[in-house]
Amino acid sequence: MIRLKLRYLAHVSMVTGILQEIYETQASSLKALLAELDQRYQGFKNMFVSSEGGELNLNAMIFYQPPGKNPTPAIDLNSPLEHNATLTFW
């Protein structure tokens, strides 16, 4: 089980109804996490992933911060998730 800190900014918080949460998941990649969060928050995945090509949307942003490192923009949906990482959805 991976523990993540998830932060939801701007319009994303309107879908989740919260600004942040500690979230435990068995998802091993960003793609799997987005699918899981879409089940919890209907429409979540569509904010970040294009329905046509399955690539990240350019009008939304995900920042990924591994423990002890600076945040960087998430580019690859197949990127692995690390325990205690922070993800900011904007």
Count other C-beta atoms under 10 Å from residue 56's C-beta.
20
In this prediction, residue 55 carries a pLDDT of 87
User: Which residue segments constitute the domains of the chain, with CATH numbers given?
Assistant: 2-89 (3.10.20.30)
In this prediction, residue 53 carries a pLDDT of 81
What is the spatial distance between Cα 20 and Cα 76, in angstroms, rounded to a whole number?
23
pLDDT in tens, 20-58: 999 999 999 999 999 999 999 999 999 999 888 888 887
C-alpha separations of 11 from 41, 68, 72, 85 in Å: 13, 28, 20, 22
The predicted model scores a pTM of 0.93
Tell how many helices (H) and how many strands (E) occur in the chain: 3, 5
